[in-house]
Amino acid sequence: MIAYKFLRDGDVAPFTGFAWPVGEWVEAETVDLCRGGIHACRPRDLPFWIGRHLWEIELAGEIVERERKVVAQRGRLLRRLDEWTPEFLDEFVDDLLRRTRRRFGAVAVAGGYVADIQRFRAQRRVGLAALAAARAAESNAGPRAYDEERARQAHWLADRLGLS
């Protein structure tokens, strides 16, 4: 299975601190959501896990798919997506900001989220900007609107990156 993985500088996993070797298989002792295994995401999961560097990863062995991630027994980094740049992320947040401002800017509670997105953009906290846009949708129209906004974000990212 081809999936995607966010890593910090030096190809280090953000939660475990594991330094990933490029092109080599890494094996996990267990496949246990949030406890063990190789964690990755599908294109639809990208907005929930936005990080510094995006890699394409091949997963093998036992693979467990959950709502917002996948966990596998084995994985190997295939290639870093060079399109994932600060400029690309700026475009993404600009799209979030325009859309949220257009849809909710005059709505008192949701309008506060516009300011949040602006602040998170300035701080380069893209994941929080995406969350704020989704929460604006939810505060205006309920949980389904949150899911729809997250799906729209995933589509924007996958489409611009050419992911299937």
Q: What is the pLDDT along the chain (164 residues), one digit of tens a residue?
A: 999 999 999 999 998 999 999 999 999 988 877 777 999 999 999 999 999 999 999 999 999 999 999 999 999 999 999 999 999 999 999 999 999 988 876 665 556 888 899 999 999 999 999 999 999 999 888 999 999 999 999 999 999 999 96
Q: Strand, helix or coil at 73?
A: strand
Domain shared by 116 and 46, yes or no: no
* Number of H-type helices and E-type strands within the chain: 5, 5
**Can you give the residue range of the structural domain that contains 6?**
2-80
Domain shared by 155 and 101, yes or no: yes
pTM, two decimal places: 0.89
Residue 119: what pLDDT? 94
Domain shared by 15 and 75, yes or no: yes
Domain limit, last residue, from 80, 105, 140: 80
CA-to-CA distance for 42 and 69, rounded, in angstroms? 7
Domain limit, last residue, from 80, 95, 116: 80
Domain shared by 49 and 107, yes or no: no
Residue 101: what pLDDT? 85
Domain shared by 23 and 76, yes or no: yes
Domain shared by 75 and 6, yes or no: yes
Domain shared by 75 and 130, yes or no: no
Domain shared by 93 and 72, yes or no: no
Residue 109: what pLDDT? 57
Q: What is the largest CA-CA distance in the chain?
A: 52
Domain limit, last residue, from 80, 112, 139: 80
Overall domain count for the chain: 2
Domain shared by 6 and 74, yes or no: yes
Domain shared by 113 and 134, yes or no: yes
Domain shared by 108 and 69, yes or no: no
